[in-house]
DNA sequence: GACGTTTTGTTCTCCCGTTCACAAACTCCT
DNA sequence: AGGAGTTTGTGAACGGGAGAACAAAACGTC
């Protein structure tokens, strides 16, 4: 989030910023921001603030997005199409090297300038491109088996969009994005709002 | 997550489950699960476990997804199309009542059986359908102004996909889904893995 | 009806992230 | 050069979530 805020400040032509300003753009408390940054090193100047470009680079280096990370996307349906077409990944240090789908009808289709390839090609693509990050956008029932194949092929980080809990060996990271649950959380708070207003009225 | 795990168990024909089993399907610790459920009430039976269907209904009721929540999606680009076509929302208590876009070329297009309508129609759609949840899938530059319009129209919960911090009045909930940050988190751990293995070798 | 077994509900403790608050460090002005 | 003003970096206090552990409750068996 700080990286994003800094990039945005740099685009606006800002060269220097205080922890207060940066915290405001990132939407957090300034003390938290300073403590977070202090774990990376002492990149600020007391009485002055932080150099936007310098700090931006330091954070990018710490995260590891100064290099380009190759990524494969498996499951080129509704969501897979959107992800493949998204330009924001490229500009933030990620490069989609392959789109894979089990459906023979989709194989050969071209999405965002890339051919959709057969799921069987996973192993060779991962090996050839040194891919360590995989995205799962298949239906939930297929997700675990896709994850297993990914892990066997050498992928060690998975971003999962399917609404299912994946089990993977130690050493493999999984993050999941669950849009239905996000909506349900909103609905819960929404319900509580209307309940409490009913009590008032 | 528990709701999803219970639905999945119910689909498998399971009628009763222990906290241990349910925790395993949800991917959490069983003590945590029991404590979480205890906030809702005492729905289990000691020595037996939980009745799957009964507990499922109780959680759904608590969250507020026994009723259908009307939702509007603004920004029918790559991501908006995917969201509109997603059937999982409907089955989890949400109903997409309108798709809105500022681009006149998109207006009139039909996506997932719904006409894409002009962004100007927001106020009347929200009022007519009693919409309280809005999804933002526009570019980042437009997100804040869309959010402002939503709030003015009466929406009080926003799910934001644009990579930007939204500021909204008190009483309005915002949740954001940031896919680039998810990938960056994976990349960070990935980088640390390779650094530590280099030290070993 | 008493006893052993199973499983929940809850207490207690630990740990970690967040925030406050302030000393240290830097700049600028006189 | 020195003092006033500003802003960082960090020690200390706070709060809350997570897990271990156990008492209470239900069930089955004899
Ligand atoms: N579309 C959304 O907006 C959205 C929102 C939330 C969650 N999701 C989740 O994301 C996932 C994908 O959603 P979608 O709408 O794109 O579904 P989809 O059905 O449109 O696409 C799924 C794709 O995966 C492919 N596939 C199926 N099994 C496969 C396998 N074993 N190996 C490789 N590819 C396989 C299918 O051929 C298809 O192209 C689902 O799990 C869904 O629940 C989607
Ligand atoms: N596509 C993805 O997979 C993906 C991934 C991560 C994040 N995002 C984010 O989601 C958002 C949408 O991404 P996308 O790829 O669908 O972009 P897109 O450009 O394909 O679609 C954006 C849509 O929003 C509409 N729009 C623009 N300004 C508007 C306004 N003021 N009011 C209403 N509609 C307006 C445009 O006409 C367009 O149809 C972006 O902020 C993007 O950063 C997308």
Q: What is the pLDDT of residues A107-154, one digit of tens each?
A: 989 999 999 999 999 999 999 999 999 999 999 999 999 999 999 999
Same domain, residue pair A88 and A59: no
Phi then psi dihedrals of residue A192, to 5 deg: -65, -35
Residue A198 has pLDDT above 70, yes or no: no
**Distance (Å) of CA B75 to CA A77, B119, B133, B169, B197:** 19, 9, 15, 22, 44
Same domain, residue pair A56 and A152: no
Same domain, residue pair A73 and A107: yes
Q: In sequence order, what E strands does A42-127 have?
A: 44-45, 49-51, 69-74, 94-101, 110-111, 114-118
Query: Are residues A191 and B63, on separate chains, in Cβ contact within 8 Å?
Result: yes
pTM reported for the whole predicted model: 0.95
- What CATH number should be reported for the domain holding residue A57? 1.10.10.10
Residue A199: pLDDT band with limits 50, 70, 90: low
Same domain, residue pair B27 and B108: no
Number of structural domains (chain B) is 2
Residue B84 has pLDDT above 50, yes or no: yes
User: And the tokens for A72?
Assistant: 């494969």
Rounded to whole angstroms, the distance from the CA of residue A19 to the C1' of nucleotide D7 is 8
Residue B181 has pLDDT above 50, yes or no: yes
Residue B199 has pLDDT above 80, yes or no: no
Residue A23 has pLDDT above 70, yes or no: yes
B177 closest CB neighbour out of A26, A81, A179: A179
Is A118 or A192 the better-scoring residue by pLDDT?
A118
pLDDT in tens, B29-63: 999 999 999 999 999 999 999 999 999 999 999 99
- The annotated binding site of A is made up of 75-80
pLDDT in tens, A36-73: 999 999 999 999 999 999 999 999 999 999 999 999 99
Name A137's Cβ contacts closer than 8 Å, sequence gap at least 6.
A73, A74, A75, A76, A77, A79, A80, A83, A161, A162
Strands A173-176 and B16-17: unpaired
**Distance (Å) of CA B155 to CA A188, B93, B135:** 15, 18, 10
Cα–Cα dist B46/A6, whole Å:
54
A133 closest CB neighbour out of B5, B64, B187: B187
Same domain, residue pair A176 and A80: yes
Residue B198: pLDDT band with limits 50, 70, 90: low
Q: Which of residues 18-47 of B touch A (CB under 8 A)?
A: 25-27
Residue B194: pLDDT band with limits 50, 70, 90: confident
Mean residue pLDDT across chain B: 95
- What CATH number should be reported for the domain holding residue B166? 3.40.50.720
- Judging contacts by C-beta atoms under 8 Å, the chain B residues touching residue A184 are 3, 63, 65, 92-93
Measure in Å the smallest separation between the Cα of A169 and chain B Cα atoms. 14
Whether B130 has its CB under 8 Å from any CB of chain A: the answer is no
Categorise residue B14: left if φ over 0, alpha if ψ from -120 to 50, beta otherwise.
Answer: beta
Residue A195: pLDDT band with limits 50, 70, 90: confident
pLDDT in tens, A163-179: 999 999 999 999 999 99
- Judging contacts by C-beta atoms under 8 Å, the chain B residues touching residue A83 are 179
> Per-residue pLDDT averaged across B106-132, rounded?
96
Residue of the CA atom closest to atom 32 of ligand 2 = B102
Whether A79 has its CB under 8 Å from any CB of chain B: the answer is yes
Same domain, residue pair A155 and A90: yes
Same domain, residue pair B76 and B175: yes
Q: Among all ligands shown, which has an atom nearest to the Cα of B79?
A: 2
Query: Are residues B156 and A64, on separate chains, in Cβ contact within 8 Å?
Result: no
The residue of chain B with its CA nearest to that of A135 is B183
- Judging contacts by C-beta atoms under 8 Å, the chain B residues touching residue A156 are 190, 193
Cα–Cα dist B37/A142, whole Å:
30
Same domain, residue pair A77 and A170: yes
Indicate whether residue A78 lines ligand 1 (CB < 6 A). yes
Same domain, residue pair B102 and B131: yes
Closest CA to B84 of B108, B126, B115: B115
Which H/E stretch holds residue B101? strand B94-101
Residue B201 has pLDDT above 50, yes or no: no
Domain span at residue B13?
2-63
Asked whether residue A108 is assigned to any structural domain, the reply reads yes
Residue A201: pLDDT band with limits 50, 70, 90: very low
User: And the tokens for A197?
Assistant: 């207003």
Same domain, residue pair B78 and B54: no
Same domain, residue pair A77 and A168: yes
pLDDT in tens, A64-89: 999 999 999 999 999 999 999 999 99
Q: Do B167 and B144 touch, CB atoms closer than 8 A?
A: yes
Cα–Cα dist A177/A83, whole Å:
13
SS3 assignment, position A69? strand
């Amino acid at each position: 989030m700080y990286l994003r805020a800094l990039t945005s400040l740099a685009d606006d032509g800002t060269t220097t910023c205080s922890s207060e300003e940066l915290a405001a753009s990132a939407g957090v408390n300034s003390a938290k921001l300073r403590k977070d940054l202090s774990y990376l090193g002492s990149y600020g100047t007391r009485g002055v603030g932080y150099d936007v470009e310098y700090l931006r680079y330091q954070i990018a280096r710490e995260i590891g997005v100064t290099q380009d990370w190759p990524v494969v996307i498996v499951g080129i349906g509704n969501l897979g199409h959107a992800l493949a077409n998204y330009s924001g990944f490229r500009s933030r240090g990620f490069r989609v090297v392959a789109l894979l789908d089990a459906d023979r009808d989709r194989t050969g289709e071209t999405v965002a300038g890339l051919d959709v390839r057969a799921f069987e090609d996973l192993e060779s693509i991962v090996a050839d491109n040194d891919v360590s990050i995989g995205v799962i956008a298949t239906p939930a029932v297929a997700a675990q088996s896709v994850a297993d194949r990914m892990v066997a092929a050498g992928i060690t980080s998975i971003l999962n969009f399917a609404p299912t809990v994946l089990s993977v060996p130690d050493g493999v990271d999984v993050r999941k994005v669950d849009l239905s649950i996000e909506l349900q959380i909103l609905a819960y708070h929404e319900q509580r709002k209307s309940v409490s207003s009913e009590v008032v009225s």
